[in-house]
Amino acid sequence: MSEDDNQLSQELTKCFPALDASLLKDCVTLCKNYALSAEELQFKWEAFNFRPSATRSEISPYTPESLDALKQAIQRERVASAQPKAPRNSALVAALNRSGFRGRGSAARGAAAAQVKIEPDAEGFAMVAGPSTVAFEGPDGSRKKRAYRYMLQKPSERGRVMDEHIDEFAEKIREVYGVEDIGDPSASTSDDITVVGRIIHDDDTAEDTSKLGENSIAIECSRNLASGARAPLRFDAQPKIRNGPKGSDAVTLFPGALVAMRGRNGGAGHFLVSEILLLPPPPPAEILKRNETQGPFTVFIASGPYSPDKDLGFKPWRTLLKKIQEAKPAVVVLIGPFIDAQHPLIKLGDVDSTPLKLFRTRFVDPLRSYLDSVPGSIAVLVPSPRDLISTHAVFPQAEFEKEVVGSDPRMRLVPNPAWFSLNGLTFSVTSVDTLFHVKRGEFSKKGEEADSVDVSADDGCGDAIVGLCKHIVQQRSVYPVFPVPSGLEAEVVLDVSHSDALRLGPASDGDSDAPPPECIPDVLIVPSRLKLFAKPIYNALAINPGFVARLGYVVLDVGSRAGTGRPTMTGNVMKVEI
């Protein structure tokens, strides 16, 4: 401890004689972070706990919880004092906000996102009633790193990143199968070789390169492994499928999938596949701070759009909100788009409010009322590239700016995709319809099982929907598709150069450049226009809550823990009754 810290500790001890050592250290940090003297902190503490009928002896005791509440109050005070005054020419500001609705097509959306003005929340919000009943842990690092500049992606950078992903996959194949040499599928050989690469459409000039077929599938290798070679693929009548789940006699491929295959190029202009080598799934997420005393809790999971195409009345959302108020869940997970740039009325500019005001009226204010009425509850908000209130209309996507929700600490803002935990239970969430995008390009090939792996009876083997979710796990990416399927480009603006953020697992710590660990979350949330479900995969629970505009949502009931292991989880697919 420095000399200044020692002096500050002595001053704090005089002002707060009842502080223990750990709290004293926290108080020193608090004073340094907010440039406060010991006496100023004492004044703020007494003002924070002031009640007209109280005596000095009745002021709340010094505890970690009360100190944390004081810190939040100081933070809110600093945010409020830093808010700029509203401009005098309000008509001009309104005109600028309304201009955000013009030309919000897929090409214009990224450039226009910066026009969304973050206005001060005039009403503010009430003091948080107490600590959350559920322990929330969000992503590490700062928003600044996730809010990278986009529309500056160079082809060379994109190619380098894609090659790195192939090379990493090849290393895993070497470890699992003991393969020493990775070959070139375009080179003629007399013996079988192992090749590793990315599945692509064989004809770049085709109108729809997202749908693969028996005679339109190819593999593209990295520059490091095979000088970036491409080769059309053809398959034996019954290729061996090695290391697949027992009972599954077929493998499904799609554009962007990383694969390893054995076979040969006999000089006929294609690579003939005799074996397909699959990787085992990544390990489950580590058990983080799981306490056997933590009780059961409920999570409501819903995804946008939240209003049907015919209007912006948000009737399905308002009906769901009543259900939330009745059930009083500890956590509400809401996934964008909230104010959808693709909504027909918004594309026409037929709306009387700014995007931010509409969001606050329809979402922030009702959520704040709910959180006030259920002390200890929290809301988790995940953005979408289609969100008008986001200043980062690209995927991977940074979280909303905290001013969007008035800096309310009970509304947890996470990026897209997001990895977070609730009472140590890990969640992976994205707002992009990955399942539908994968399904658009699927090509299935039957084969012969070899070295099959036993799977649990409830693992959904043979279930097409579960199979789509397994692609995410096996590819270790929440969006393994490349390129974005034809006709769906408006749904996601993919920035390949930042695709490390799409890995299945927690984000890398802080500013570290090391690749983050890959693991399976306890709960995988993948909103899709496909059938709603809540099904087990690889001992995890995969959930598609659907869209609120289509009247779908999911209620997740988390039971008490058996020791320090994973608690029981039950996902209930629900319908909004209008």
Instruction: Quick: pLDDT tens for 392-402.
Output: 989 999 999 98
Mean pLDDT for 156-164 is 91
Region of 193 (left: φ > 0; alpha: ψ -120 to 50; beta: rest) is beta
Provide mean pLDDT across the span 143-152.
Answer: 82
- 244: how many CB neighbours lie within 10 A of its CB? 23
Which residue is listed with tokens 């709306």? 351
d(CA 571, CA 299): 9
Q: Tell me the average pLDDT across 540-564.
A: 89
- Looking at per-residue confidence, does 53 or 451 come out higher? 451
- Rounded to an integer, the average pLDDT of 56-60 is 48
Please check whether residue 279 is in contact with residue 484, taking contact to mean a CB–CB distance below 8 angstroms. no
d(CA 275, CA 472): 22
Write the DSSP string, 277-331: EPPPPPPBPP--S--TT---EEEEEEES--S-TT-S--HHHHHHHHHHHHH--SE
Q: 76 or 485: which carries more pLDDT confidence?
A: 485
Rg (CA), the chain: 27
Structure confidence at residue 289 (pLDDT) = 47
Q: Is 476 left (phi over 0), alpha (psi -120 to 50) or beta?
A: left
Q: Does 48 have pLDDT greater than 80?
A: no
Of 323, 321, 405, 402, nearest in space to 359 by CA: 405
What is the structure's pLDDT at 91?
Answer: 42
Among the residue ranges 19-33, 90-104, 180-194, the one predicted with the least confidence is 90-104
pLDDT-derived band of residue 476, with 50, 70 and 90 as boundaries? very high
Q: What is the pLDDT at residue 564? A: 57
Mean pLDDT of 499-503: 92
| 64 exposure class (CB count in 10 Å sphere: 0-12, 13-18, 19+) | exposed
Token reading at 286: 């580590």
Give mean pLDDT, residues 124-138. Answer: 65
Query: Confidence class of residue 509 from pLDDT cuts 50, 70 and 90?
Result: low
pLDDT range class, residue 231, cuts 50, 70, 90: very high
- Among 6-10, 218-222, 482-486, the least confident range: 6-10
Residue type, 399: E
pLDDT exceeds 80 at position 18: no
In tens, the pLDDT along 68-123 reads 778 877 877 766 665 554 444 444 334 434 444 444 444 344 434 444 444 444 44
* In this structure, CATH architecture of domain 155-280: Beta Barrel (2.40)
pLDDT digits (tens, 9 = 90+) for 190-209: 899 999 999 999 877 666 76
Domain boundaries of the chain, sorted by first residue = 3-82, 94-115+294-440+460-575, 155-280
Instruction: Find the DSSP H helices in 303-400.
Output: 315-327, 344-348, 355-359, 365-373
- Cα dihedral 64, 67, 73, 74 sign: negative
**Architecture (CATH level 2) of domain 94-115+294-440+460-575:** 4-Layer Sandwich (3.60)
391, 114 Cβ separation under 8 angstroms: yes
The residue ranking higher by pLDDT, 52 or 136, is 136
- Residue 165's pLDDT is 95
| Contact of 383 with 417, CB cutoff 8 Å | no
Q: Considering only 280-289, 325-334, 367-376, 418-427, which range has the smallest mean pLDDT? A: 280-289
Give tens-digit pLDDT for 400-449: 998 999 889 999 999 999 999 999 899 999 999 999 999 999 999 999 98
The residue-averaged pLDDT of 246-257 equals 89
What is the predicted pLDDT for the residue at 364? Answer: 96
Nearest Cα to Cα of residue 137 among 543, 526, 414, 430: 414
- Which H helix or E strand runs over 543? strand 540-544
Of the pLDDT bands very low, low, confident and very high (cuts 50, 70, 90), residue 461 is low
Record the pTM.
Answer: 0.77
- Does 151 score more than 80 pLDDT? no
Higher pLDDT, 55 or 440: 440
DSSP category for residue 479: -
Which segment of 103-107, 361-365, 438-442, 546-550 scores lowest on mean pLDDT?
Answer: 103-107
Q: Identify the residue whose tokens are 């100190």.
A: 67
Helix or strand run (H / E) with residue 470: helix 464-475
Reported as type and span, the H/E element at residue 533 is strand 533-537
In terms of DSSP H, where are the helices of 2-85? 3-15, 21-33, 38-48, 64-82
Dump the DSSP string for 179-197: ------TTS--SS-EEEEE
What are the structure tokens assigned to 380, written together?
A: 């988790």
